[in-house]
Amino acid sequence: MLMLAAAMVIVSCSENDDTVNEWENWQEKNDTYWTNIYQQAQQKIAAGDTTWKIIPCWTMTGQNATDSTRTPTLDPTDYIVVHVENKGEGTTSPLYTDSVRIHYLGRMIPSPTFSSGYVFDASYDYNEPYNLLTMRPYTASPNAFIEGFTTALLNMHKGDRWQVYIPYALAYGSSTPTSSSSSSNGVTYSSSTSTTYGIQPYSDLIFDITLVDFYKPGEKVPVAYSKKSAW
């Protein structure tokens, strides 16, 4: 009876421990998620929906995902997928060496506990209303980020707000960034803390990005929130 009771306690703890199955079959789930979002974007673009974009990684030159005159030679995971939430009035995009002022929120794909995806970092308190008049922009250079995030910035215009889907191949791949920040309430903290999850290996990342403005080298950048990016 004692052994049976002990076994029941172990099973009970296992079933109630959110960390046990949170990332079960995580690579497979992320592979499936990426295939679906990429195909969805293809279908939307083919139907004439201009709010969806498929953009090759900035390091891949001479490729165009929607160019019918050429046969694509890249893998779907060499692209990012974008849904335009708001189209700005700008007509030019930042360069790799520019400084950008942005708002962002980053999360992983949905998981058992986090139905909208675990938020691992944000430049603003997302529990408050999204208000460009009160939010402080985050200042950095496009070259400070993972490839997928940089790709988005190099294609955005001033005032654009994009939902950006990044395959793990253009994020961290099979690695876990040891210095990543995590967030559940708009306040970031180190993933080394035992009570946080952090970015998991094989994680597709989803970013909500607004490009407030950008500046050429040598131009004065307004004082704004700035930190060393972890991703």
Q: Dihedral angle at the C-alpha atoms of 57, 63, 67, 68, nearest 10 degrees? A: -120
> Residue type at 91?
T
Residue 167 lies in a domain: yes
Residue 100 lies in a domain: yes
pLDDT of residue 64: 55
Q: Are 142 and 152 in contact (CB under 8 A)?
A: no
Q: Are 207 and 105 in contact (CB under 8 A)?
A: yes
Q: Tens digits of per-residue pLDDT, 154-173? A: 999 999 999 999 999 999 99
Stretch 41-53: mean pLDDT? 97
Residue 7 lies in a domain: no
Residue 164 lies in a domain: yes
Query: Which CATH number is 169's domain given?
Result: 3.10.50.40
Q: What percent of the chain has pLDDT over 70?
A: 74
For the chain, report the end-to-end CA distance as a whole number of angstroms. Answer: 51
Residue 198 lies in a domain: yes
Q: Tens digits of per-residue pLDDT, 180-204? A: 444 433 333 333 333 357 899 999 9
Number of domains observed in the structure of the chain:
1
Residue 6 lies in a domain: no
Cβ count within 10 A of residue 216: 11
pTM, rounded to two decimals? 0.79
Residue 130 lies in a domain: yes
Q: Tens digits of per-residue pLDDT, 52-101? A: 999 999 998 665 555 555 555 789 999 999 999 999 998 999 999 999 99
Say whether pLDDT at 7 is over 50. Answer: no
Domain that holds residue 112: 26-59+76-215
Which tokens hold the place of 181?
């920040």
Q: Give CA separation, 194 vs 9, 174, 190, in Å.
A: 23, 21, 9
Residue 10 lies in a domain: no
Q: Are 87 and 160 in contact (CB under 8 A)?
A: yes
